[in-house]
Amino acid sequence: MSFLIVLFSIILLILLISYFKVNAFLSFLIVSICAGLLLGINPAQIGGTIQKGIGDMLGSLVIVIIAGSMLGKLVAETGAAQKIASGMMAVFGEKYLQLALTITGFVIGIPLFYNVGFVLVFPIIASVVYRYKLPAVFVGLPIVAALSVTHGFLPPHPSPVALVSQFHADMGTTLFFGALIAIPTVFISGLLYSRTLKDMKATLLSTFKSEGLPEEKLPGLFNSLFSSLLPVLLLAITTGLNFVITDGSPFKNIAKFFSDSSMVMLISLGVATYTLGLGRGQKMKHIMDIYSDAVKDVLMIILIIGGAGALKETLIQSGISNDIGALLDGLSIHPLILGWLIAGVIRICVGSATVAGLTAAGIIAPLLSAHPEVHPSLMVLSVGAGSLMFSHVNDSGFWLFKEYFNLSIKDTIRSWSMMETIVAICGLAGVMLINAIL
Q: Locate the domains of the chain by residue range.
A: 2-202+220-437
Residue 368 has pLDDT above 80, yes or no: no
> Per residue in 83-142, pLDDT tens?
888 888 888 888 888 999 898 889 888 767 788 889 888 988 988 898 888 999 999 999
pTM for this model (two decimals): 0.81
Distance between CA atoms of 111 and 151, rounded to whole angstroms? 9
Distance between CA atoms of 156 and 78, rounded to whole angstroms? 33
> Per residue in 58-90, pLDDT tens?
887 888 889 988 998 999 889 898 888 888 888
Residue 209 has pLDDT above 90, yes or no: no
Greater model confidence, 278 or 130: 278
Question: Left (φ > 0), alpha (ψ -120 to 50) or beta: where does 351 sit?
Answer: left
Q: What mean pLDDT do residues 160-168 have?
A: 84
Q: What is the pLDDT of residue 233?
A: 86
Q: What is the pLDDT of residue 71?
A: 92
Dihedral over alpha carbons 138, 145, 336, 433 (to 10 degrees)? 70
Please report which helix (H) or strand (E) contains residue 259, including its range.
Answer: helix 252-259
Q: What mean pLDDT do residues 172-186 have?
A: 93
Greater model confidence, 240 or 16: 16
Greater model confidence, 259 or 17: 17
Q: What mean pLDDT do residues 357-384 have?
A: 84
- Per-residue pLDDT band for 365 (boundaries 50, 70, 90) equals confident
- Per-residue pLDDT band for 274 (boundaries 50, 70, 90) equals very high
Distance between CA atoms of 121 and 144, rounded to whole angstroms? 9
Q: What is the pLDDT of residue 60?
A: 72
Q: What share of the chain is helix, strand, coil (3-state, %, to 5)?
A: 80, 0, 20
Distance between CA atoms of 232 and 222, rounded to whole angstroms? 15
Greater model confidence, 251 or 174: 174
Residue 210 has pLDDT above 70, yes or no: no
DSSP SS3 for 209: coil
Q: What is the pLDDT of residue 329?
A: 62
Residue 23 has pLDDT above 70, yes or no: yes
CB-based burial, 13-42: b 16+ in 10 Å, e otherwise: bbebbeeeebebbebbbebbbbbbebbebe
Please provide the distance, in angstroms rounded to a whole number, between the alpha carbons at the two ends of the chain: 41
Q: Express as a percent the part of the chain with pLDDT over 90.
A: 45
Q: What mean pLDDT do residues 193-215 have?
A: 84
Distance between CA atoms of 12 and 10, rounded to whole angstroms? 5
Q: What mean pLDDT do residues 143-155 have?
A: 91
Greater model confidence, 125 or 259: 125
Distance between CA atoms of 262 and 268, rounded to whole angstroms? 10
- Angle of the 97-109 helix axis to the 136-153 helix axis, nearest 10: 30
Residue 314 has pLDDT above 80, yes or no: yes
Residue 5 has pLDDT above 70, yes or no: yes
Mean pLDDT over the full length of the chain: 88
- Per-residue pLDDT band for 4 (boundaries 50, 70, 90) equals confident
- Per-residue pLDDT band for 211 (boundaries 50, 70, 90) equals low
> Per residue in 330-352, pLDDT tens?
667 888 999 999 899 889 988 87
